[in-house]
């Protein structure tokens, strides 16, 4: 049904892209065109999904709290969603290497969109778990999505392509958070999630418009399970280091809205506005990381990102007030670009017929971080509210050392240069 009903929308959307009508509300058109047609459509789809998610993403802990959850229970809701996502990647990685990646993505988009009406109808924080299962189970398509982006992109420029495609999501997230905060203060959460559902539906239409792409011709490895990837010591070291990076990107930040409400006295609308600052930071820093990945390699870009992450937590912890919080949120926007850099990094390390399973492991590490970080943050926050932010700031030098190590693990600078 999605493919047939989108034919008219297909013509309209492509005409708008060609004429530049979407300029200013999506990515700048030269950036979209540089991605190619299919990756450009994915960027537009992620922009629309970001608009829908941005309405509530940065007030999500406050919404859970408003339904009766304690600080530990807030962390539990967020962490259990991560467990579902982790489990979804196991079949998702196999499906990405064996079956149509486009169809995988369409099914996931539909499944995720159904979470919004469930959130709207919840009257207790436990009921949110049902919608969370839908939303996080939809992430089974991440290996297929990343494999498709890599296949449709230019192999020598994947760091830039991944950064720009996912910047579409960040740009969408930059627009809608203030509106979401105002809706929450007005008690219009059902209307909020209704708007999210509409935007998710439009995003699904856009993803239906991409072309089908054939799977890699070499299928013998693809038909095997995960064993050959798990036995690759080099890949597993990369995944473990990336896991630590993902934990650092979420730890502390996931409880920043609660901290700002309880200790800085900020309203939900102001906290929503800070979400916009974070998304703007994510968009700007994604473009910067894409540029740096070409100039100094992915390892160099990751080191810069880790320094910005440490600076953000230090500013948030040391200085009170709205302006320092805005500075910290802008710097915390580095989280999504870090994910894009690691995805581009892996694409050069995996055989084409095993790339889906490799991305599944990377996505599992990312979701495991979403399990560990919010719950761990909730526990530390209950002990001392500033402790989660201090923990990240102190761990950054260790992350930098690990990043340098993986850049040199295959014989010094030559390995790092190869990954540019």
Fill in the DSSP letter of residue 211: P
Model pLDDT, residue 154: 65
Question: How far apart (Å, rounded) are the C-alpha atoms in residues 28 and 15?
Answer: 16
Sole residue written with tokens 């100094």:
296
Cβ–Cβ < 8 Å for 201, 113: yes
What do you get for the CA distance between the two ends of the chain, in Å?
Answer: 41
Tokens 């890599």 correspond to: 150
- Joined together, the tokens standing for residue 373 give 């970080």
- Residues with Cβ within 8 Å of residue 88, at least 6 apart in sequence: 136, 137, 138, 139, 140
Assigned token pair, 412: 């010094």
**pLDDT in the model for residue 226:** 67
Q: Please tell me the distance from the alpha carbon of residue 348 to that of residue 356, in angstroms, as a whole number.
A: 13
In order of their start, the domains of the chain are 2-418 (1.20.1250.20)
List the pLDDT tens digit at each of the 420 positions of the chain: 433 333 333 333 334 434 343 344 444 455 556 678 899 899 999 999 999 998 998 788 889 988 988 878 887 887 787 788 888 888 888 888 888 999 999 999 999 999 999 999 999 999 999 999 999 999 899 889 988 988 887 665 777 788 888 888 888 888 888 788 888 888 888 899 999 999 999 999 999 999 998 876 654 444 556 677 777 777 788 888 888 888 888 887 878 888 888 887 777 778 777 877 887 888 888 888 888 887 888 888 889 988 898 898 888 887 767 888 899 999 988 887 888 888 777 777 776 667 777 788 887 887 778 778 877 888 888 888 888 888 888 888 888 888 888 777 644 333 333 333
Measure the CA dihedral 327/330/333/337, to 10°: -110
Torsion of CA 374, 380, 384, 388, to 10 degrees: -60
pLDDT of residue 50: 92
DSSP run (H or E) holding 294: helix 268-295
**Cα atoms in the Cβ-side hemisphere of radius 13 Å centred on 327:** 15
Given this model, what pLDDT does residue 37 score? 85
Which residues, 6+ apart, have CB-to-CB distance to 38 below 8 Å? 148, 152, 210, 211, 213
Write down the pLDDT at residue 364: 80
Closest by CA position to 377, among listed 390, 393, 388, 389? 388
pLDDT at position 41 is 93
d(CA 129, CA 289): 35
Report the helix count and the strand count for the chain, using DSSP H and E. 23, 0
What CA–CA distance (Å, rounded) separates 339 from 166?
Answer: 9
pLDDT value, residue 217:
61
- 60: closest CA among 114, 110, 119, 134? 119
């Amino acid at each position: 049904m999605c493919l047939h009903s989108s034919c008219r929308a297909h013509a309209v959307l492509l005409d708008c892209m060609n004429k530049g009508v979407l300029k200013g509300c999506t990515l700048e058109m030269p950036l979209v065109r540089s991605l190619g047609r299919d990756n450009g459509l994915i960027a537009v789809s992620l922009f629309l999904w970001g608009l829908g998610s941005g309405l509530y993403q940065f007030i999500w802990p406050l919404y859970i709290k408003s339904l009766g959850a304690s600080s530990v229970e807030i962390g539990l809701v967020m962490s259990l969603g991560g467990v579902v996502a982790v489990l979804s990647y196991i079949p998702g990685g196999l499906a990405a290497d064996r079956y149509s990646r486009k169809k995988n993505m369409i099914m996931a988009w539909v499944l995720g969109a159904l979470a919004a009406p469930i959130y709207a109808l919840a009257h207790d924080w436990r009921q949110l778990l049902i919608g969370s299962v839908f939303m996080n189970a939809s992430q089974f398509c991440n290996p297929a999505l990343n494999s498709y982006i890599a296949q449709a992109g230019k192999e020598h420029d994947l760091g830039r392509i991944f950064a720009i495609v996912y910047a579409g999501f960040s740009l969408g997230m930059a627009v809608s958070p203030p509106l979401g905060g105002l809706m929450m203060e007005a008690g219009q959460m059902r209307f909020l999630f209704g708007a999210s559902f509409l935007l998710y539906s439009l995003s699904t239409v856009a993803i239906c418009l991409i072309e089908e792409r054939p799977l890699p011709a070499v299928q013998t490895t693809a038909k095997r399970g995960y064993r050959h990837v798990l036995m690759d010591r080099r890949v597993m070291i990369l995944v473990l280091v990336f896991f630590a990076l993902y934990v650092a990107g979420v730890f502390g930040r996931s409880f920043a809205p609660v901290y700002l409400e309880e200790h800085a006295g900020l309203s939900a609308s102001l906290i929503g506005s800070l979400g916009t600052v974070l998304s703007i930071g994510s968009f700007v820093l994604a473009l910067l990381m894409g540029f740096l990945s070409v100039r100094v390699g992915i390892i160099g870009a990751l080191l810069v990102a880790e320094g910005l992450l440490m600076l953000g937590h230090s500013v948030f912890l040391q200085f009170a007030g709205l302006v320092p919080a805005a500075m910290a949120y802008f710097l915390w926007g580095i989280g999504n670009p870090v994910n894009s850099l690691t995805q581009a990094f892996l694409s050069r390390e995996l055989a084409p017929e095993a790339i889906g399973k490799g991305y599944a492991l990377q996505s599992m590490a990312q979701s495991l971080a979403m399990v560990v970080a919010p719950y761990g943050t909730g526990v530390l926050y209950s002990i001392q509210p500033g402790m989660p932010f201090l923990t990240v700031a102190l761990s950054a030098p260790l992350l930098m050392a690990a990043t340098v190590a993986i850049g040199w693990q295959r014989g010094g600078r030559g390995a790092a240069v190869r990954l540019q």
